[in-house]
Amino acid sequence: MIVEVPVSVGELIDKITILQLKHRFARTDEQRSNVDRELQLLQQRADGVNLGGHPMFEGIVAELTRVNRQLWDLEDVIRGCIRNQDFGEVYMNTAQEIPRANDRRAELKRIANDAYHSSIVEEKIYD
């Protein structure tokens, strides 16, 4: 079963870049197959509305890919610290970087939504 859910343009581009990273880091053929199936479906949607035709597309994709890779690496560091029960300086510094990277990710998604005049806009609300 496939459930189709409307999302913002920024969310679609973001999800595609995350799936591309997951493809690179998949550990099993089954993981890679599942990721590739989802990636193909989302890429078809992006191609169907010609997202790649916008002059900002390549830059947004490159920067979202960079930020999502940064988040991937930060998550690996955090998980390693938790596994080793080491909650010292590395853990604390990494934990502080994650919200900054997520803020940049939200900003890029907002830029994409504005550029494409997305009718759905994700709101990030924090204190």
pLDDT at residue 112, rounded to an integer = 96
Q: Given the structure tokens 């920067």, which residue do they identify?
A: 63
According to the model, what pLDDT value does residue 127 have? 67
| Rounded CA separation 40/66 (Å) | 21
For residues 67 and 109, what is the distance between their CA atoms, to the nearest angstrom?
Answer: 11
Find tokens 């890679």 and name the residue: 32
CA 87 to chain centre: 26
| Tens of pLDDT, residues 2-58 | 899 999 999 999 999 999 999 999 999 999 999 999 999 999 999 999 988 888 999
pTM: 0.92
- What does the DSSP assignment read for 83-100? HTT--SHHHHHHHHHHHH
For 101, other C-beta atoms within 10 Å of its C-beta total 19
User: Per residue in 73-82, pLDDT tens?
Assistant: 999 999 999 9
Break the chain into its structural domains and give their ranges. Answer: 9-116
